[in-house]
Amino acid sequence: MASTSGAMDVDVESKAPSVDIASTPENVTRIVEENEDKDLSRSLNQRHIQMIALAGAIGTGLFLSLGGALQNGGPLGALLGYAYMGGVVCAVQFALGEVSALFPVTGSYVRHAEFLVDPALGFAVGWNVVYGTYLSVPSEISAAMVLIQFWTDKYPALWITLFIVLTFLVGIIFVGIFGEVEFFFALLKIFLVIGIVIMGLVIDLGGVSGQERIGFRYWNNPGPLVEYLALGSWGKFLGFWAVMTNAVYSFAGVESVSVAAAETQNPRQNIPKACNRVFARVSILYLLSVLIVGMLVPSNDPSLNDYSGTAATSPFVVAATRAGIKVVPSIINSVVLTSALSASNQSLLSGTRILYGLALKKQAPKIFLRTTKYGIPYVCVILQTLVASLAFMSLSNGALTVFNWLLRLTAAGTLVTWSVILINHIRLHKALQKQGISRHELPWHHWWTVYASWIGLVSCLLFLFTGGFSVFVKGHWDTATFISSYLDIPIVIAAYGGWKIFKKTKILPWRKFLFEKRLMR
């Protein structure tokens, strides 16, 4: 290894420089950006980024975990829960958009944490994202197995292997191909949600032959809210709060739009545009879907209580089946299956790019710096593909059971990520304020985001610490639920504290020229 400076070493095997995190933030930023420009390919254009943002906003969780939300919270509880979480997601997206417009770098919020807060926080959240996204791939494959079992329960090992291979192929080839695949999957999702809303209205208004008008019948019986773990108003509130974990998983991945900034054309314009439009997607697509399902499927439908893991339990499929429509359930199931594959692809993109960024800064083994001639960090992709083999647990425990385990694990990691994104944004605005720089000088900004970030941060922390509240109710202790709900908290704290002690990092002072340089671009 030949040394070129005190801040940068050149890896002969990978041809990629690595960065000493002890260097000043501006040097770290310069060196990493130079390496990204050299080794990564800017092949994602505005069309791709817009659709990746949309694909991230419509995940498998909407189609699978919504059933659990309806069962626990009732139609009104599910609607309010998803609306509340949608507001938090909007706060996260706008915060991410503002910071990413100023610092459009691969690794996004991980790198932002390093030069806006503390290098140790960047290390902790970086590995937290790698851990979460690597678990998300087998989670989505388990979700795909739930959907496949709607048609057949034969050859599960073969299906899992096929999904792993497909995910690997999409991740290892030219990133522009990834963009095209996600563009196609996102279009299918849009058409599916629009079709579901139209179908739901037709069924609800009695437009299906032999079916009477439903209206808001199920809001009256069994009722708009469901008692969960307790009786009366308190039980109904707990039912509403139980919706949050399902909703977090449904929205997980919306932050991935900025992770591949170094592989995006004109990231300072395209990424904020993608973040800016998430509000309409959340309010129209998600809330309409939740409302329609609550009108068509009663919260006490026995299909929603199927925890065997041997059949698909998507409430959209249940709604079509209850209406006696034989073809539509298979169509819905097919498109939801592509949603699982899409979510798996996005998790692979996020996890591999974050791991690549960690390796650049010597926070991960240098072998992860190796890229193909098309700019794909192929060693990162291979590792994530190996971790995806956890999906084979579905063979002994049931696909839906494994999906629910991984759901809780990834939901906690998602909340940590969102909290860091909001902290980065708050710190950025505080720095601008202290240095007398108007936020209007930012490439992209909104007047209300400062307030929204504080509300979002408090909400994320509440969701994080109450994610496994059910185990603390008398008679409902479950070790697996407790571990999967709270394991991520000590992992992140240990990673932050360990790196801080090892590298003696400090919360960074502000360097005005760093902002001025960015604002003049």
User: Which has the minimum average pLDDT: 46-50, 211-215, 323-327?
Assistant: 46-50
Q: Which structural domains are found in the chain, ordered by start?
A: 33-514 (1.20.1740.10)
Going from the C-alpha of 10 to that of each of 7, 488, 503, the distances in angstroms are: 10, 34, 21
CA angle 477, 478, 479 (to 5 degrees): 120
Euclidean distance between CA atoms 477 and 493, whole angstroms: 25
> What is the mean pLDDT of the segment spanning 379-394?
86
- The answer to whether 407 touches 245, Cβ cutoff 8 Å, is yes
Which helix (DSSP H) or strand (DSSP E) does residue 8 occupy? strand 8-10
User: Which has the minimum average pLDDT: 11-15, 21-25, 199-203, 315-319?
Assistant: 11-15
Using 50, 70 and 90 to split pLDDT, how confident is the model at 463?
very high
- pLDDT score of 322: 80
> What is the mean pLDDT of the segment spanning 485-499?
92
Q: Which carries the bigger pLDDT value, residue 340 or residue 404?
A: 340
- The answer to whether 61 touches 246, Cβ cutoff 8 Å, is yes
pLDDT digit string, tens, across residues 286-298: 888 899 989 988 9
- pLDDT score of 254: 72
Q: Is the pLDDT at 77 greater than 80, yes or no?
A: yes
Euclidean distance between CA atoms 333 and 431, whole angstroms: 48
- pLDDT score of 273: 67
Global confidence as pTM: 0.82
- The answer to whether 481 touches 468, Cβ cutoff 8 Å, is yes
- pLDDT score of 55: 58
pLDDT digit string, tens, across residues 418-441: 999 999 999 998 888 888 888 888
- pLDDT score of 125: 92
Q: Is the pLDDT at 7 greater than 50, yes or no?
A: no
Q: Which long-range contacts (CB under 8 A, 24 or more apart) does 331-336 make?
A: 332/192, 332/196, 333/147, 333/150, 333/151, 335/188, 335/189, 335/191, 335/192, 336/60, 336/63, 336/64, 336/147, 336/192
- pLDDT score of 50: 62
